[in-house]
Amino acid sequence: MAAFDTLAPTWVASEGLATGDEGAVLDHARQLDRFLADVERRAFRIAQIALRDVDDALDAVQEAMTKLAARYAARPAAEWRPLFHRILENTIHDVQRRRAIRRRVMAWAPPWRQHADDPPEEDPAELAADPSPHGVERAMRTQALERLEASLRALPARQRQAFLLRNFEGLDVAETAAAMACSEGSVKTHYSRAVHALRARLGEVW
Amino acid sequence: MKNPVSIDWEARCRELYEESVASLDVRTRARLTEARHAALEAAGVRAHAGARRTVPRWSWAVAGVAAALLIAVVLRIATPLGGSSAGTGGDVPRSEDAALVASTSPADDSVEMMREDADFYAWAAGVSAPADDRQAE
């Protein structure tokens, strides 16, 4: 377990965390550390699905964690999850926008520099088939996941976000609405459209 | 209400995602942990791996004062006021020790030793002289 020696003044001065109540502040800090440890891997996968790049996904997760800790750490712990996902989605959107700008700039660059931003190609050695029954099963599941991820990337951003939060993250409608900064009715609409689009794309036998 | 096929389909999506999260490689996990620590550090919360701090800061000051007092007591017992250090004769005053040391110089010591062991030095000179002669030849 991590321990905390210093806290930002905003933590101590925040509502409900009095200056003299150092124990409560430290508990709150540890609670935040545990929360981030709990969500970091799932957040990484969400960022990786959207960005298709390990380093960019790690950067996005770290940026989202930093913003949550710096701005919203003093908020009640129950609010952290939707806040974190809203920040993460905004961060992912920022990375995608920066990439789009770079791509536009690179269109003027010489041809050999135009693909510098493309995601790295997969290692052929890792794609080699494992002949064992367990390997075949694993390969099929990997393929199914890749098809799902590709289909998710093809969805409009709001539908993708609704599906990731509701299905993958298990957030309820109210939490998803808070994370997406929209009404609960909009969440239901986005999610329903996402499911229909994914099923149409992947097929019933997927 | 959702139909069973839809529920199965959604459950399969979630299951595949959970598998991919669980199978993240060690390097990525380590990098995520580093990223979390960096994020907390950047946000003004310094995290240290290891045990939580349970000893209050003022206790270090109390421990320091206690250690200083203990050392003072030990020194006081080892060297009582007005006494002499062990091995020099308990009844000799310190001022006399100082006068004794001041009154004797290294040169005085040498003369005194020569006077007491004159025979020994004469014999030693006789033994070493033939050896010196042989070296000269």
Confidence of residue B88 (pLDDT cuts 50, 70, 90): very low
| B136 part of a folded domain | yes
Pick from A31-35, A170-174, B98-102: least confident: B98-102
Q: What is the pLDDT of residues A21-35, one digit of tens each?
A: 677 777 788 899 999
Domain that holds residue A91: 1-120
ipTM for the whole complex: 0.76
Q: Are residues A11 and A105 in the same domain?
A: yes
CB atoms A58 and B46 under 8 Å: no
Q: How many domains does chain B have?
A: 2
In the prediction, which pLDDT does B100 show?
Answer: 47
Q: Name residue A45's amino acid.
A: R
Contact B38 A66 (CB under 8 A): yes
Residue B7 in contact with partner chain A when CB distance is under 8 A: no
Report yes or no on B64 lying in a domain. no
Condensed to tens digits (0 to 9), the pLDDT of residues B39-70 reads 988 887 654 433 344 455 566 777 888 888 88
Of residues A122 and B89, more confidence is placed in A122
Nearest CA to A11 out of B45, B35, B41 is that of B45
Under an 8 A CB cutoff, do B44 and A45 touch? no
Q: In this prediction, what percent of chain A has a pLDDT beyond 90? A: 58
Return phi, psi of residue A202, to 5°.
Answer: -85, -25
- Give B134's pLDDT tier (boundaries 50, 70, 90): low
Which residue has better confidence, B87 or A146? A146
A45 vs B contacts (CB less than 8 Å): 17, 20-21, 24
CB contact under 8 A, B28 and A145: no
Q: What is the pLDDT of residue A21?
A: 67
| pLDDT for the residue numbered A128 | 56
Query: Does B112 fall in a domain?
Result: yes
- Count of CB pairs separated by less than 8 Å, A with B: 115
**Nearest 5 degrees, angle CA A158-CA A94-CA A183?**
30
A145 to B17: CB separation less than 8 angstroms, yes or no: yes
* Helices marked H in chain A: 9-13, 22-51, 54-71, 80-106, 124-127, 133-154, 157-163, 173-180, 184-202
B86 three-state secondary structure:
coil
A197 plus A149 within the same structural domain = yes
Residues of A in contact with B42 (CB under 8 A): 66, 69-70
Mutate to test the interface with A, among B1, B14, B17, B37 (most CBs of A within 10 A): B17
State yes or no: pLDDT of A118 exceeds 80: no
Best mutation site among A42, A52, A65 for testing chain B: the one with the most B CBs within 10 Å? A65
Domain boundary among A120, A147, A172: A120
**Do residues B40 and A33 lie in contact, with contact meaning Cβ atoms separated by under 8 Å?**
yes
State which residue of chain B sits closest to A71, comparing Cα positions. B43
Number of domains, chain A: 2
Given CB atoms, is A24 within the 8 Å cutoff of chain B? no
Average pLDDT over residues B116-134: 65
Tell me the three state secondary structure of residue A66.
Answer: helix
Which of A69, A87, A120 terminates a domain? The answer is A120
pLDDT, tens digit, 9 for 90 and up, residues A34-66: 999 999 999 999 999 999 999 999 999 999 999
Checking if the pLDDT of B124 tops 90, the result is no
Q: Is the pLDDT of residue B122 over 90?
A: no
Give the domain extent around B110: 104-137
Which one of B28, B33, B42 has the shortest CB-CB distance to A66? Answer: B42
Q: What is the pLDDT of residues A131-169, one digit of tens each?
A: 676 778 788 888 899 999 999 999 999 999 999 999 999
Within 8 A by CB and 6+ apart from A51, the residues are A57, A60, A92, A95, A96
pLDDT at A113: 60
In this structure, the answer to whether residues A112 and A141 fall within a common structural domain is no
Distances (CA, A) of A28 to A31, A32, A46, B44, B96: 5, 6, 26, 14, 70
| Domain CATH number, residue A169 | 1.10.10.10
- Contact residues on chain B for A141, CB-CB shorter than 8 A: 16, 19
Whether pLDDT at A204 is above 90: no
Residues A100 and A134 in one domain: no
Same domain, A108 and A191: no
> Could you say which of A120, A146, A179 is where a domain stops?
A120
Chain A residues lying within 8 Å of B39, measured CB to CB? 36, 62-63, 65-66, 68-69
Higher-pLDDT residue of A130 and A171 is: A171
In this complex, the residue of B6, B43, B53 whose CB is nearest that of residue A66 is: B43
Establish if B27 touches chain A: CB-CB under 8 angstroms. Answer: no
Q: Is residue A174 pLDDT above 90, yes or no?
A: yes
- Higher local confidence (pLDDT), B13 or B128: B13
Cβ atoms of B77 and A32 within 8 Å: the answer is no
Q: How confident is the model at residue B74 (pLDDT cuts 50, 70, 90)?
A: confident
The average pLDDT across B68-93 equals 65
B10 CB-near residues (< 8 Å, 6+ apart): A167, A195, B2
